[in-house]
């Protein structure tokens, strides 16, 4: 699970071109959107595409996405349950 979390952090930083953020700065339990990492709705769309491309997992709707994208921990859990 730790390897998956690190992979997700690196994917977020490089895939979303977060030039001022390193994977080490992203907390496992920290929020990815709004007050946390500060991602927005455009980042969410890009993240859905990245997850699909990297893990071949489809996020079906906004509610499912909100749950999956709450934090690195929740995203890792979401992916591991579907692989």
What's the pLDDT tens digit per position in 59-76? 988 889 999 999 999 999
Segments in the chain below pLDDT 70: none
Spans of all domains in the chain: 2-82
pLDDT reported for residue 60: 86
Say whether domain 2-82 belongs to CATH 3.40.50.920.
no
- pLDDT above 70 covers a percentage of the chain that reads 100
In whole angstroms, give the CA distance from residue 62 to residue 4.
23
Catalytic residues: 40
pTM over 0.85: yes
The CA distances from residue 73 to 19, 32, 44, 54, in Å, are 22, 10, 16, 17
In whole angstroms, give the CA distance from residue 81 to residue 83.
6
């Amino acid at each position: 699970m730790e390897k998956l979390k690190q992979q997700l952090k690196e994917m977020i930083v490089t895939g979303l071109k977060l030039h001022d953020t390193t994977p080490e700065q992203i907390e496992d339990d920290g929020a990815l959107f709004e007050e946390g990492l500060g991602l927005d709705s455009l980042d969410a769309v890009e993240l859905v595409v990245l997850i699909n491309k990297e893990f071949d997992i489809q996020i079906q709707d906004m509610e499912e996405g909100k749950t999956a994208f709450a934090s690195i921990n929740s995203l890792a859990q979401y992916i591991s349950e579907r692989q």
